[in-house]
Amino acid sequence: MSTIQIIGGGLAGCEAAWQAAERGCAVELYEMKPTRFSPAHELELLGELVCS
C-alpha cells in the first residue's frame, strides 16, 4: 500500500490526513512548525486558525 504524504498541518491538511487515515490509508503529515514560524503563527500546535 502506498503512503499518502500531506504537506501542511493547517485545518485542511489535518482534515485530509484524518479522512485518509479513517479510510485505512497510511498517512505522513509534514508541518514546518515548531521548526519555522511565519509572522502569522503564534502557537506550536497543528491546525492553527490564521487570519490575514
pLDDT at 20: 96
DSSP summary character for residue 17: H
Instruction: For the chain, give every domain's residue range.
Output: 1-52
How many Å apart are CA 29 and CA 31, to the nearest integer?
A: 7
**Amino acid present at 37:** F
pLDDT at 4: 97
pTM: 0.68
Report whether 25 contacts 1 (CB < 8 A): yes
pLDDT at 40: 64
Q: Which pLDDT tens digit goes with each residue over 1-52?
A: 789 999 988 888 989 999 999 999 999 999 876 666 666 666 666 666 666 5
pLDDT at 16: 94
Task: Provide the 10 A C-beta neighbour count for residue 32.
Answer: 12
